Amino acid sequence: MAKARSNFICQACGAISPRWQGKCEACGEWNTFVEEAPASGIGAAAARGAKKGRIFALEGLSGESQPAPRILSGLAELDRVTGGGFVPGSVLLIGGEPGIGKSTLLIQACAALARKGERVVYISGEEAAAQVRLRAERLGLADAAVELAAETSVEDIIATLSAGRTPALVVIDSIQTMWTDTADATAGTVTQVRGAAQALIRFAKLSGACVILVGHVTKDGQIAGPRVVEHMVDAVASFEGDGSHHFRILRNVKNRFGPTDEIGVFEMTGGGLAEVANPSALFLAGRDGSAAGAAVFAGMEGTRPVLVEIQALVAPSALGTPRRAVVGWDPSRLSMLVAVLEAHGRIKLGQHDIYLNVAGGMKITEPAADLAAAAALVSSLVGAALPQDMVFFGEVGLSGAVRPVPHAGLRLKEASKLGFSRAVAPQGPQGADSKSEKPNGMGLNAIRHIGEAIADIAALGRGGASGGVKRAAG
Ligand code: TYD
Ligand code: MG
């Protein structure tokens, strides 16, 4: 028998290589390969003692199935991200950088659920029970009947949880600190993280408890990232935000029981995470509408309209190759938009540095932001501020055509609610020009081509009138 060779496994994505590599070719991360013994993998034990398969019954697609029951957490923003509450027997993975507030969010969710009389267990593998208790006390949650433990052995945890009344919710903080006897790699490696997650997922399915796994995302790849278990769990949410802003966004990236793309917005306060029911007001707070290069984008995050400001700075470049820097938006989308503006808008940006920023630390993935980004770029280039009461949305195609985007009505309604009275939006079947979708008092400039928007903004730069947007009568 050939000698069993050990494998090198990328701790970021789980790719396997027979030899050590500096850079993972699968995910592009550096210095993430760690040697792991081959026989330690999950299922290795089963493979050794292979037994004959058991015959099981197969079922048809049609049949009696109830919709998944839900347990509301009591935090509306969290329930929005889970698609209407936790599903019993499901596993949710919440990823995020250390210190972003995952433990804070989950202890708050646990306390809210425990107050409703559910059995809730919080297992911390990183902090002592006293530390968790201290935080709960500071957050004013000490009276909630959350059951706490500082444990890292998955077998012990499952034995303990199986002993009493089945908990409604179990929080495992974090999956990277857990270890299982079935794998003999060190804690935090891909093999251990996968093994521990698999055991906990099996427990969730068998017991009907909802299990939340916390996963740290680290840039240096010192510990296996949550990506290696994403495919195994029912739902994945990532907790985002940055140090300079107080608000945090819980973004749904996978959900077997509901829609994805939904976001929950929280604000980190001295008293823990507070829910933000009206994110648009938060993102637009402190806006200086009189500056050139800022356009308000009427966007959608899942089922909720969210208004954000897109800021651009276009300045003549002193460098041979002008700088292009983007925060909160896709850089290749900016390149495309610049090319379209040059080709179809007769705007010269080739000798200009371009900086684009989505205010407030928000990340935009919707193509509908194209028109707002274009407006911000042109506004900065011509040095004219856009009207303060104007919002933009629409996808820009390579031909310069402005294409309709979904939910025009919702976007306009949100803009109207926040005091905006004019919108530049695409024309067309699903576009914003259908009467029923337009709120009263909203002036609409329904355009077909990017050139129309550019001409209006350029007119502003020359001291032109209202930018071609007529105010609706009544
Ligand atoms: P934490 O939940 O421990 O982060 P994670 O579990 O994702 O690593 O949050 C840590 C940060 O949150 C810490 O830097 C302090 C801040 N924080 C507050 O600002 N207010 C609070 O009430 C709490 C509990 C934490
Ligand atoms: Mg934590």
Domains along the chain with CATH numbers: 7-36 (no CATH), 76-277 (3.40.50.300), 282-473 (3.30.230.10)
Judge if the beta carbon of residue 406 lies within 6 A of ligand 1: no
Least-confidence region, from 47-56, 63-72, 102-111: 47-56
Q: What is the pLDDT of residue 460?
A: 83
Question: Is pLDDT larger for residue 4 or for residue 60?
Answer: 60
Q: Give the ligand whose atoms come closest to the C-alpha of residue 177.
A: 2
Tell me the pLDDT tens digit for each residue of 90-117. 999 999 888 899 999 999 999 999 999 9
Please, which contacts does 437-442 make with residues 24 or more away whose CB atoms are closer than 8 Å?
437/408, 437/409, 437/412, 438/409, 438/412, 438/472, 439/412, 439/413, 440/416, 440/472, 440/474, 441/416, 441/472, 441/474, 442/412, 442/415, 442/416, 442/472
Q: What is the pLDDT of residue 465?
A: 46
Give yes or no for a contact between 248 and 241, defined as CB atoms under 8 angstroms apart: yes
Highest mean predicted confidence (pLDDT) among 12-16, 267-271, 391-395 = 391-395
Asked if residue 102 belongs to a known ligand binding site, the reply is: yes
Best residue among 106, 177, 268 to mutate for probing ligand 1's pocket (most ligand atoms within 8 Å of CB) is: 268
pTM of the entire structure? 0.79
Q: Give the ligand whose atoms come closest to the C-alpha of residue 139.
A: 1
Neighbours of 30 (CB within 10 A): 12
Asked if residue 96 belongs to a known ligand binding site, the reply is: yes
Ligand 2 geometric centre to CA of 288 (Å): 36
Question: Is pLDDT larger for residue 286 or for residue 242?
Answer: 286
Asked if residue 157 belongs to a known ligand binding site, the reply is: no
Q: Report the distance separating Cα 49 and Cα 384, nearest Å.
A: 74
